[in-house]
């Protein structure tokens, strides 16, 4: 999971101050925050988390709108119950969001 978070927050591929968001954790310590929740609820084994990529066609969308869509998607998908990192990458012709999250592993409230 730490590797997926690192990929999502790769500073060489995104504009850190404008296009990174965290839900239920902080950008600076997302992996540690997620591990802490797993430890609190005794869910330290098994699947650590998931990631997904949300891509847009070249010229289809601005980076700001792409990021807003990514954050809204994560909010709706997780319902405020799971930690996630959303990062909008600008390193290819297609603007894309990377989401690293704890969905189906352990929620902030200890339930799947």
pLDDT in tens, 33-42: 888 888 888 8
User: What is each CA distance from 100 to 18, 32, 60, 81, in whole angstroms?
Assistant: 18, 13, 23, 14
Query: What's the pLDDT score for residue 62?
Result: 94
Q: What is the pLDDT of residues 63-89, one digit of tens each?
A: 999 999 999 999 898 888 888 899 998
Model pTM score: 0.77
Residues 13, 43: Cα–Cα separation, whole Å: 32
Which residue matches tokens 């996630």? 84
CB proximity list for 2: less than 8 A, separation 6 or greater: 31
| 90, 13 Cβ separation under 8 angstroms | yes
């Amino acid at each position: 999971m730490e590797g997926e978070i690192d990929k999502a927050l790769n500073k060489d591929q995104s504009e850190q101050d404008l296009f990174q968001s965290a839900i239920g954790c902080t950008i600076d310590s997302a992996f540690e925050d997620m591990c802490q929740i797993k430890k609190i609820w005794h869910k330290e084994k098994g699947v650590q988390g998931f990631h997904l990529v949300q891509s847009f066609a070249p010229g289809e969308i601005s980076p700001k709108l792409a990021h807003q869509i990514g954050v809204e998607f994560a909010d709706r998908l997780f319902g405020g119950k799971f930690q996630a990192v959303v990062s909008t990458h600008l390193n290819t012709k297609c603007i894309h969001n990377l989401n690293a999250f704890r969905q189906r592993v352990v929620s902030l409230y200890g339930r799947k």
